[in-house]
Amino acid sequence: MGIMGHGYGSEFHLLRYLGYHRGDLNRAIEQQTGGRVLDWRDFGFDPRGKHLDAEWKGLDFLGPDFEGVKTAWEGFWPQTGNVQNWDAVGLLQADSYIEFILVEAKAHLEEVRSDCGAHEDGGLPMIRKAFAKTIAAHGFKADPEKWLRPYYQYANRLATLHYLIQHNVLSRLVCVYFTGDDATRYKWHVLCPQNEQEWNACLREMDKHLGMTGSSELQQRVHRVFLPVGGQASEGPDE
């Protein structure tokens, strides 16, 4: 868990929505997914952490009924280094099915960009293989090497979603993009989109780099929600 900004930043604003504006958050997600938000799973505690809380990591959110899926995960993704940290995990009812909601939240453009830090003698070969499987399974037009940078975090979330789909664990990735955050509150220079259109310019570039076609089963399970840091939520179309 990163250091939470006080009054700014994606972690802070998501916590606000979960605590004070949960109805707005749920409605925005429901309009994008067509389902109904049932619940949000509590984080654990971490007495060594700055805020004494622990994010959900990897596939830890799966219960005991999914032990086989969690065991097979060890052969798909490295278990050392920085594993996937989820900003929130919830449950969604879509038709007659209960699905997981995996949330990633962003408040400024620099949060979208990241590079893979794994090494050749570490987890990098396994990551490349996971990306290659994901790309091939869903018809993306990209070389796995392009998934290593500069949009690595989003790419590894897509690979995780692919893995869950392949193992019949119904799940959706919900990317929450906050608009109107105050860039002057940060200790370094950032660009905070003030509206959905400013976000979309960056997101289109990301999709193009990753070879996203918009037609695969995986992409149909990725949803983008745009939430103003202070006001009524506005939702954009899936891309």
| Phi/psi at 28 (5° precision) | -65, -45
DSSP one-letter string for 164-216: HHHTT--EEEEEEEEES--GGGSSS-----SSHHHHHHHHHHHHHHHT--S-S
**Quick one: pLDDT at residue 6?**
79
Rounded to an integer, what distance in angstroms lies between the CA atom of residue 141 and that of residue 175? 22
Q: pLDDT of 141-198, one tens digit each?
A: 999 999 999 999 999 999 999 999 999 999 999 999 999 999 999 999 999 999 999 9
**Quick one: pLDDT at residue 232?**
62
pTM for the complete prediction?
0.93
Low-confidence ranges of the chain (pLDDT < 50): 233-239
Amino acid at 76: F
Compute the mean pLDDT over every residue in the chain, rounded to the nearest whole number.
Answer: 93
**Quick one: pLDDT at residue 215?**
83
**Quick one: pLDDT at residue 48?**
87
Rounded to an integer, what distance in angstroms lies between the CA atom of residue 34 and that of residue 19? 23
**Quick one: pLDDT at residue 234?**
44
**Quick one: pLDDT at residue 51?**
78
**Quick one: pLDDT at residue 3?**
61
